[in-house]
Structure 1
Amino acid sequence: MERDNNPAAPLTLVPIAQALQGSGADCSEQMVEIARWCTSYLCNPHPELGRSGAVCPWSPPAIKRETFWLVDVALAGRDDEAIAAQLSGLIDTFKQRAPHSGSATQFKTIVCVLHGLDDPARVNHYHALLKPRFLAAGLMLGEFYSHCPKPGLRSDHFNPLRSPVPLLVVREMVELDIAFLSDQPQFVEAYLRTHGARAHIGINSVLHQEDRLSLSNEQWEVLRRIANR
Structure 2
Amino acid sequence: MDLSNGDSGERCTAPQEQAWRWFEEFLCRPNGQLGRDGHVCPFVGPAIEAGTLRVAEWEVGPEPGVGDLVALVHRMVDAFRNMEWATRNRTLHAFVVVLNGLDAAALPLLDEAHSKVKPELVSQYLMLGQFHPACEERAARNPGLRVSRAPVPLFALRHMAFHDVLFLDDDMEWFSAYHARFGRRYSSVTMPDPLFADRYARACEKWLAGCGT
TM-score tier by shorter-chain length is 0.7 to 0.9
1:139 counterpart residue number: 126
Distance in 2 between residues matched to 1:165 and 1:132, nearest whole Å: 25
Q: Is 1:61 paired with 2:46?
A: yes
Question: Which letter does structure 2 place at the counterpart of 1:221?
Answer: R
Q: Pick the aligned partner of 2:56 from 57, 71, 86.
A: 71
**By how many angstroms is 1:220 displaced?**
6.3
Deviation at 1:100, TM superposition (A): 9.3
**How many pairs are equivalent?**
203
* Secondary structure of the structure 1 residue equivalent to 2:31: coil
- 2:94 touches 2:158 (CA, 8 Å); kept in 1? yes
Conservation of the 8 A alpha-carbon contact between 1:176 and 1:205: no
- CA apart distance, 1:121: 2.4
Give the CA deviation at 1:172.
Answer: 1.1
Q: Report the CA distance between 1:122 and its aligned residue.
A: 2.3
The match for 1:161 among 141, 148, 156 is 148
Alignment of 1:3-42 (within 5 A): 17-19=3-5, 24=10, 27-42=12-27
Q: CA deviation at 1:96?
A: 2.6
How far 1:85 sits from its partner (Å)?
2.5
* Counterparts of 2:211 and 2:173, CA distance in 1: 19
Where does residue 83 of structure 2 map in the other structure? 97
- Residues 57 and 125 from structure 1, CA distance in 2 versus in 1: closer, same or farther, beyond 3 angstroms? same
- Counterparts in 2 of 1:101 and 1:163: CA distance versus 1, 3 Å: closer
Distance 1:94 1:180 in 2: 21
Structure 2: which 5+ residue stretches go unaligned? none
Paired letter, 2:152? V
Give the match's secondary structure for 2:91: helix
Matched, 1:43 2:28: yes
CA contact (8 A) 2:35 2:142 kept: yes
TM-score where L is the length of structure 1: 0.74
Letter of the 1:142 partner, please give it.
G
Letter of the structure 2 residue corresponding to residue 157 of structure 1: G
Secondary structure of 1:190's aligned partner: helix
In structure 1, C-alpha distance between the alignment counterparts of 2:128 and 2:196, rounded to whole Å: 24
**TM-score (norm. length: structure 2):** 0.79
RMSD: 3.1
Identity %: 23
Q: Distance in 1 between matches of 2:81 and 2:87?
A: 10
Structure 1 residue 49 displacement after superposition: 1.0
| Residue in structure 1 matching 2:171, options 181, 184, 191 | 184
Unmatched runs of 5 consecutive residues or more in structure 1: 1-14
Q: CA deviation at 1:43?
A: 0.7
Deviations 1:62-109 (A, max 9, x none): 00000001122322265444442232122232223244985x110111
Q: CA separation in 2, counterparts of 1:210 and 1:171? A: 19
- Between the aligned partners of 1:100 and 1:70, the Cα distance in structure 2 is 15
| TM-fit CA distance, 1:146 | 1.7
